[in-house]
Amino acid sequence: MATAVGLATDIARSAGVGGALSRAEGGEISSREVVSVSAWAQTKSTSRWCSFSRCVASPAAAAAAANGHLVKRSKPSSASLSSYRGLRRAGVTHSLSEPFSPHTLFRSHETAENRDGGNCPTGVQVRATLADVHVKSKVDATMPRGESWAVHKFGGTCVANAERIGNAAKIIVDDPSAQKAVVVSAMSKVTDTFYEILRLAESRDESYLRVMESLYQKHKETAFALLGPSDALEKFMKKLDGDISNLQAMMRAIFIAGHATDTFSDIVVGHGELWAAQLLAASICKEGVSAVWMDAREVLVVSPTSTQQVDPDYELSGERLDEWYQQQQAIPDILVITGFIASTPEGVPTTLKRDGSDFSAAIMGALLLAKSITIWTDVDGVYSADPRKVSEAVVLSTLSYQEAWEMSYFGANVLHPRTTLPAMKYNIPIIIKNVFRPSFPGTWIGPSTSSDQDPAISEESGSVKGFATIDHVAIINVEGTGMAGVPGTAGEIFMTVKEVGANVIMISQASSEHSICFAVPETEAKMVAKALEIKFKKALGAGRISKVEVLRNCSILAAVGQKMASTPGVSATFFTALAKANINIRGIAQGCSEYNITVVVDQEERIRALKAVHARFYLSKTPVSVGVVGPGLIGGTLLEHGIDLTRWKEILQEKGEPADMAKFTEHLRAGYLSPNRVMVDCTASAFVAEHYDDWLQKGIHIVTPNKKANSGPLQQYLKLRNLQRKSYTHYFYEATVGAGLPIISTLRGLLETGDKILKIEGIFSGTLSYIFNNFNREKTFSGIVAEAKASGFTEPDPRDDLSGMDVGRKVVILARESGLQLELEDIPVQSLVPEPLQSVETADEFMQGLPAYDLQIGEQLEEAEARGEVLRYIGVVDCVKNEGSVELKSYPKSHAFAQLSGSDNIIAFTTTRYRDQPLIVRGPGAGKEVTAGGVFCDVLRLAAYLGAPS
């Protein structure tokens, strides 16, 4: 180790001068002391400083003293600059723009009597000042790196107040890792508040002072609550007071100028992280563990590439990290680092832009070669979709780096889009955890393996990990036949977009090159369109480009999954789910890597679209919004048994509104309910059936036992069925014919398998089945009707059943399903209502007059019994004769129709396959329970068609 005198002499000689040396105190300077030598030139009347420093223990401290003289006292000679640059290379980082007096740090002995300016001396004498300061031994030359380090990052909500800062400190202390680096954001809303202060100051609005005062009080109150009366509190408050004073001066300058540069703004907004880091470090120390805080601007070096992007300089940042480490007096247990802020290679303060603290943590993890990076937030992890939009979204236990990057790019708010990149460089896993539920495992993000399978989702859908949306985008469509085969058109388009500073989110181009469309934020659409119109003014005038079109109010929906590339059918499933939800797609993009499939949909459809694809890939149950029209016997039973609505009657009574079909329809269409909508019409109303066209056009599926639509005018029926096929909607009406019996589905099954229908005949009315199953010589016809009415087997007015029109409508429905184009008027219907009673006003009058006609129908019963037969009221569809009928007929007691009991229905299908022995379907065909069951079965069948697992 050189002696103090020898060291001073070396420095003096490096300036090319010689002279005497003096010393503040006698004796040798030990290796644990700082040596600072200032050489100065003197004439008889004037003196001028040329200062140099060389360090034994603390280069920065010595440089601070020397730099003060360099700036304030003289223009240094080339020799002095050479010495200074040597110090900079040796690790001295004190800025020349920050003059610092040695008097505050060193005991100095001055030998100059006059330091006033003057001409350069011709005779030079050199004297030196030696300052003795005892310091601790310096730490090792380089920062320890490796898997002993665990990096943690706490977002603004995690340190929003004193309680949460204390909670974060406890989490850090409880981590058993050997070394811990903690990156911290500003307290919640503080960065936003700083930007608001800047805006107010630039606007010359003096209310910025009030906002700044509230910011000061927030941190003061937090510090008092967190640290209590202590040296740590006093130290923090001294720093806070000084910073606020400086900020007020800066804001006043901005207020006067009416403008703040980007650098000035970055300096201001970075204070939130500085204060949060100091508070968290002090809180950790309060737990009995040593911790120091680091201003990341001293270490982290980034190069801005645009207004919203920066690139880290890992090599220079690593060197700065080692330099910072060399200045420390001891190795800390925990290192608390400011997030969000950094410096340029020139030392100018900057930021990592909005939400950059995650990026800071990943960069520090890469610099330290850490074993893990844990991002603490206020959610349980990365969800399969935004849980605010899809309540069934699940927490994904694993993601690959690529999947996490894609999901964050497309709007998943858990990670900054570039966070994964530094971690990927060294295969450092990132763990997303909930600060309020630290025991929850969260989401692990790391290198992918072929065996990865997330238990949160099914094996069938494992190829797709999640879905995300970007809202408020616009599509720019540049189209024209003159674009095809012309090199450079796409380049000119996107160069123009770049020149106006717009962000292109998605690009799609047809292989014909006839059009190029791309998505930009909606706020930038007008600017981009205008720039393109100017750029292609000649091409537009000549017709080579036909239009520059802007499609507003769009959203981007992306499906993300690394295994999509090796799984056939993912795209088909994705687009089928959107089609079944009646979602129109405005644009499509997919890279060859197949990490994502991206589509553009209307903004108002984005939530339904997200729910539809999420449900289709088995990440959640298939949601269906159900609207029930007519909560009477059948509808009420459906609500009580098919769907769990415990208090629907009370709610309807308390909050029910007058029926308004248009308003009800729009309520059901609301995207927040479900991607799939079904209207269940439980009425017998022709008025309600008239709305079917409108519902289908709006993508609403229909389930109904109402026969009016399918048995109404033939042209209206054909139009309805055609619209249903074109609109990708479903129309189920099994209960229109056999209540809960599978009549329609059986008929369709026969036709779809190639069978030919010859005849369909049966007892289609449960009411009339009950009447004739119990009609005998011991009971009169009117007595049986009264008994059926009392038992609830008939409509309130039994004439609706006895007229036979209900059976006639069922015959028309079956005839049309079989391919016959029959109108209801084409079906001869034998009415059981005596003609004189058809016009009476009330059901009671009808029931009072019915006994007078018992003899007439009693005679038909006697004739049938004389032949050993029974009476049955049947409907017939004769496909050979192209006709249908409804009538009262007699059948031998051995016939299947004679074997019925109660209110059972029976239908016989005679086909080419079942010619000798008809196919029989038999069972209960009336009653609210079985009909509601049939309706609910159709609802479940619809859910299966929409993607629910079978």
The Cα 529–Cα 136 span in angstroms is 65
Q: How many CB atoms lie within 10 A of CB 350?
A: 23
Place of tokens 């019925």: 900
Strands of the sheet containing 515-521, edge to edge, are 506-509, 515-521, 466-479, 547-560, 596-602, 585-590
| Catalytic site includes residue 810 | yes
Place of tokens 């909560």: 631
- State the helix-helix crossing angle for 190-202 and 208-227, rounded to 10 degrees: 160
- Dihedral angle sign, alpha carbons of residues 942, 667, 578, 467: negative
Structure tokens at 28: 């040798």
| CA-based nearest residue to 908, from 917, 899, 900, 934 | 917
Which DSSP helix (H) or strand (E) runs through 167?
helix 162-174
Structure tokens at 213: 């005062």
Q: How many CB atoms lie within 10 A of CB 306?
A: 9
Which DSSP helix (H) or strand (E) runs through 890?
strand 883-892
Coil vs helix vs strand at 645: coil
Complete DSSP assignment for 310-359: EEE-HHHHHHHHHHHHHT-SS--SEEEEESSEEE-TTS-EEE--TTTHHH
The Cα 109–Cα 524 span in angstroms is 65
Place of tokens 């599978």: 742
The Cα 629–Cα 635 span in angstroms is 7
The DSSP code for 651 is H
Structure tokens at 133: 């300061």
The Cα 55–Cα 35 span in angstroms is 6
- Phi, psi angle pair for 775, to nearest 5°: -85, 120
Structure tokens at 938: 């159709």
Complete DSSP assignment for 217-240: HHHHHHHHHHH-SSHHHHHHHHHH
> Which of left, alpha, beta for 679 (phi over 0: left; psi -120 to 50: alpha)?
beta
User: What are the C-alpha distances in Å from 918 to residues 327, 893, 908?
Assistant: 98, 17, 6
The Cα 865–Cα 761 span in angstroms is 22
CB 235 within 8 A of CB 228: no
Catalytic residue chosen out of the listed positions 810, 881, 889, 893: 810
Structure tokens at 918: 């008809």
Structure tokens at 731: 């129309």
Half-sphere exposure of 682 (CA within 13 A, CB side): 25
Place of tokens 């190029």: 516
CB-neighbour burial class of residue 112 (10 A; exposed 0-12, middle 13-18, buried 19+):
middle
The Cα 338–Cα 215 span in angstroms is 18
The Cα 638–Cα 745 span in angstroms is 21
One-letter identity of residue 892: P
Cβ-Cβ contacts under 8 Å for 523 (sequence gap 6 or more): 472
Place of tokens 């400086």: 246
The Cα 99–Cα 73 span in angstroms is 10
CB 515 within 8 A of CB 479: yes
The Cα 639–Cα 759 span in angstroms is 37
Structure tokens at 171: 């989490």
Q: Which residues are catalytic?
A: 810
